[in-house]
Amino acid sequence: MSFDCISVEETKRLLENDDVTVIDIRDINSFSKGHINNAIHIDDININNFLSEKDKNETIIIYCYHGISSKSAANFFSQNGFKNVFSMNDGYAGWI
C-alpha cells in the first residue's frame, strides 16, 4: 500500500499545520450539500486536469462517504505519482 489511512482527528491536525489538498470523491449532490472546508470535488470529469496540474509532492487527503471508496482512490493517486497520500477513515460521516 502506497498511502496511509488516517483518522478524522489526524486529518484535522494535518489541516491545521500543513499545506494540504482535501479531495472529496462523493457524488456532486452530496458534495453540494456539505463538505470539508476547502475540499475540492474530484470525479471522472475533472480528474485528468487535477492529475496533470497538481504538484505530486503536495499532501492530499481523500475522503468519501464512510472511508471505504477513498482507499481505492488513494491507491489510484499513489499509482499516478503522488507521494503523500492519505485516505480518511470513516469518511464524511465521521467528519460530521
Amino acid at 21: T
Catalytic residue among 8, 60, 62, 64: 64
Q: Is 64 a catalytic residue?
A: yes
55 DSSP 8-state letter? -
**C-alpha pair distances (Å), 85 with each of 29, 32, 33, 73, 77:** 25, 24, 25, 10, 7
Please list the active-site residues.
64
